[in-house]
Amino acid sequence: MKTTALIAAALLAGAVPALAAEDPIAVRQTLMESMGGAAGLTAGVLKGEIDYSPAIGKAAITATAGVAEAYADYFPEGSDTGGNTEASPKIWEDPAGFAEQISKLQAATAGAVSASGKSGPADAEAFKAAMQPVLATCKSCHETYRLDD
């Protein structure tokens, strides 16, 4: 239980101060760092570096679903430059295309949430199966909408 709580906290910790700062670039980057955390956790479980438990799996999946829900709100006009953003201008040039990637991400995370049931995917295999569609969205969106990827 202790490990689970620590990992869940690590996935979410970064988001709070950035949200308070109301800097859309910082917020969206922090949200993506949670995605990176969830992807890293999945890799760690699959390599056997992290002992799997259903609660850990559920925490990671819940974090990706939270990001998917919030993410599109942090691309207001004028936030295409500034900070150290890697957001591609295509997000603002082709909002429909970007919205489609967001929808795909939301569908994948919603699928993972329902696959994880009440107490999380039962074992590492079930966790991997639930996360795979979510992980498939990363490259597809980054290819077009994130610079230098």
What are the residues binding ligand HEC (CB under 6 A)?
25, 28-29, 32-33, 35-36, 39, 85-87, 101-102, 105, 134-135, 137-138, 141-142, 145-146
Q: Which is nearer to ligand HEC, 55 or 72 (CB)?
A: 72
Residue number with CB closer to ligand HEC (11 or 35): 35
Name the token pair of 48.
């056997």
- Please count the other Cβ atoms lying within 10 Å of the Cβ belonging to residue 71: 19
CA distance 139 to 145: 10
C-alpha span between 124 and 140 (Å, rounded): 25
**Nearest distance from C-beta of residue 123 to ligand HEC, angstroms:** 21
CB of 99 to ligand HEC, least distance (A): 9
Q: Nearer Cβ to ligand HEC, position 81 or 118?
A: 81
Which CB sits closer to ligand HEC, 83 or 117?
Answer: 83
Q: Give the shortest CB-65-to-ligand HEC separation in angstroms.
A: 11
* Least distance between ligand HEC and beta carbon 2 (Å): 26
What tokens were used for 117?
A: 């049931």
User: Which is nearer to ligand HEC, 35 or 59 (by Cβ)?
Assistant: 35
The answer to whether the CB of 30 falls within 8 A of the CB of 7 is no
Shortest Cβ 118–ligand HEC spacing (Å): 23
Q: Where are the beta strands (DSSP E) in 31-96?
A: none
Beta bridge partners of residue 146, listed in sequence order: 87
φ/ψ region of 140 (left if φ > 0, alpha if ψ in -120 to 50, else beta) reads: alpha
